[in-house]
């Protein structure tokens, strides 16, 4: 393909490559392009420069650019077209782009199965207000000074008690750190680990894609390790050469698998044998509908596991409240990193949440939300079974999302596009594959939908699949 075919200005592809990092250049290039697509700086449908031309511009070998393009095609960010050129995928392929470019592609879907939205209309405002009032009335002036990098003692104590009781962790207030959600906690942690000499992060394949970019920016290589029905494949982790692994053991995102006792023991054995680290992202363990959640791995090996929790699924993502339980050796560097990053999370929010947890309001809120989410999930699974029985839900009855594989005659791109034409947002698995594109599937978030909207959404999906199959 000639270079003139591209409709991108050179400025749109400015990707900073750092040759002093151990992160391979193709991963840095991937991460840079992925970011620019997400930020809407590379428009849906834009034609990418030819690999040879881009390689020359960036002073890279062509193979590096080819590898980066191939990975981004596998993830669904780019599509390769007949005629040998590569385009930014249409936004409908399910890639998260920021508002600017999403708006340019037209109306948002009327019914949207996008994941990561709990039902914030159920935020316990009255109970939260009682805690705010109490905190404002009772907090002494001295608590309004700059904070310990770990956060307020009150919240660390309340959360340590709660997690030890409910999640089987072995938390001590002095080993806890309050952060602005998993996003900040994981970013600071990966930066601290990279500075301490860690080199390679293993992630579940498939898994949430954002953290991979964060790891690359921190200077860590990432490697995908397959997920089985019993959780991460520990034998493959052994072979991966990783010195830190990130797992969603209690409810794998996106497959919904639960790590078996054998997998959890295997992860602990791997970490202790090689003196390496497990990061346990326990993002939605509070929502189990037909069984008790498995206990946190952190409780088995507190000095080999970083436990990460968040209020984003249980209360609201906008709160930006998250917490880490750290092995002793990471407390001081993480606390310093948090102070350098933002001088600590807002003190009244922390104290309000501490009071809310300590007074049992958090437990009460979860007891109220569990049956609501369970009803939504049952409605979704029931309607899928009725209307599109070849989309079989996998994973345990838990959390705020359901995954299904797609039958071989359907592709994610075709299904998501046909759904969007009907005002329906459904999302493919492509962005979550790490090493190479895997089987096609869909992830349905249902947390902020109503039962009638779910029923109507699945009916629209059945209609979309019917018309695709008739074509």
Ligand X SMILES: Cc1ncc(COP(=O)(O)O)c(C=O)c1O
Positions touching ligand X (CB under 6 A) are 116, 181-183, 208, 248, 253, 281, 283, 310, 312, 317, 322
Toward ligand X, which CB reaches closer, 295 or 317? 317
Q: Which residue is nearest to ligand X (CB)?
A: 181
Q: Per the structure block, which two tokens stand in for 193?
A: 């680990």
DSSP strands (E only) in 298-412: 305-310, 322-325, 393-394, 401-405
Toward ligand X, which CB reaches closer, 208 or 412? 208
Closest separation between CB of residue 85 and ligand X, Å? 33
Rg (CA), the chain: 23
DSSP states along 209-224: SHHHHHHHHHT-EEEE
In angstroms, what CA-CA distances link 181 with 59, 100, 177, 276, 286? Answer: 38, 24, 11, 24, 16
DSSP assigned state of 47: B
Closest separation between CB of residue 215 and ligand X, Å? 14
Toward ligand X, which CB reaches closer, 128 or 253? 253
CA–centroid distance for 453 within its chain: 25
Instruction: Specify whether the CB–CB gap between 279 and 261 falls below 8 A.
Output: no
Toward ligand X, which CB reaches closer, 305 or 464? 305
Closest separation between CB of residue 454 and ligand X, Å? 19
Toward ligand X, which CB reaches closer, 102 or 269? 102
Closest separation between CB of residue 282 and ligand X, Å? 9
Contact partners, residue 63, CB within 8 Å, separation at least 6: none
Instruction: Specify whether the CB–CB gap between 343 and 205 falls below 8 A.
Output: no
Closest separation between CB of residue 222 and ligand X, Å? 15
DSSP states along 233-269: -HHHHHHHT-SEEEE-TTS-TTT-----HHHHHHHHH
Closest separation between CB of residue 390 and ligand X, Å? 27
- Residue from 338, 278, 333, 336 nearest 303 by CA: 278
Toward ligand X, which CB reaches closer, 345 or 379? 345
Toward ligand X, which CB reaches closer, 28 or 216? 216
Closest separation between CB of residue 186 and ligand X, Å? 8
Taking each continuous run of H as one helix and of E as one strand, the counts in the chain are 15, 16
């Amino acid at each position: 393909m000639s270079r003139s075919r591209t409709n991108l200005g050179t400025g749109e592809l400015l990707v900073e490559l750092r040759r002093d990092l151990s992160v391979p250049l193709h991963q840095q290039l991937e991460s840079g392009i992925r970011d620019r697509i997400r930020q809407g700086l590379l428009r849906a449908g834009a034609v990418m420069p030819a690999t040879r031309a881009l390689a020359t511009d960036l002073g890279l070998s062509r193979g590096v650019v080819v590898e980066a393009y191939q990975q981004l095609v596998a993830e669904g960010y780019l599509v390769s077209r007949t005629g040998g050129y590569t385009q930014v995928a249409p936004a409908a392929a399910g890639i998260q782009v920021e508002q600017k470019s999403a708006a340019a592609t037209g109306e948002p879907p009327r019914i949207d199965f996008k994941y990561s939205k709990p039902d914030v209309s159920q935020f316990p405002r009255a109970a939260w207000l009682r805690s705010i009032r109490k905190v404002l009335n009772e907090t002494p002036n001295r608590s309004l000074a700059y904070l310990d990098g770990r956060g307020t003692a009150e919240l660390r104590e309340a959360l340590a008690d709660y997690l030890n009781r409910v999640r089987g962790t072995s938390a001590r207030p002095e080993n806890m750190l309050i952060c602005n959600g998993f996003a900040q906690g994981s970013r600071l942690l990966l930066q601290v680990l990279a500075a301490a000499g860690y080199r390679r992060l293993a992630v579940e394949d498939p898994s949430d894609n954002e953290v991979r970019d964060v790891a690359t920016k921190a200077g860590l290589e990432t490697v995908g390790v397959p997920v089985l029905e019993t959780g991460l494949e520990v034998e493959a982790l052994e072979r991966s050469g990783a010195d830190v692994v990130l797992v969603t053991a209690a409810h794998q995102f996106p497959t919904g698998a639960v790590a078996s006792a054998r997998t959890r023991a295997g992860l602990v054995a791997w970490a202790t044998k090689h003196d390496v680290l497990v990061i346990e992202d326990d993002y939605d363990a509070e929502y189990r509908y037909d069984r008790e959640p498995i206990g946190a791995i952190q409780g088995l090996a507190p000095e080999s596991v970083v436990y990460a929790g968040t209020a984003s699924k249980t209360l609201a993502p906008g709160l930006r409240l998250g917490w880490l339980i750290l092995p002793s050796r990471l407390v001081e560097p993480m606390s310093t990193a948090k102070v350098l990053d933002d001088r600590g999370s807002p003190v009244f929010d922390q104290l309000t949440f501490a009071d809310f947890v300590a007074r049992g309001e958090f437990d009460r809120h979860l007891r109220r939300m569990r049956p609501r989410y369970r009803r939504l999930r049952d409605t979704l699974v029931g309607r899928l079974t009725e209307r599109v029985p070849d989309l079989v839900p996998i994973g345990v009855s838990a959390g705020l999302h359901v995954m299904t594989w797609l039958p071989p005659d359907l592709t994610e791109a075709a299904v998501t596009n046909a759904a969007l034409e009907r005002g329906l947002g459904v999302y493919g698995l492509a962005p979550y594959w790490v090493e190479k594109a895997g089987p096609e599937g869909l992830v349905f978030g249902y947390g902020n939908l109503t039962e009638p909207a779910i029923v109507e959404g699945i009916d629209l999906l059945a209609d979309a699949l019917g018309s695709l199959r008739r074509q």
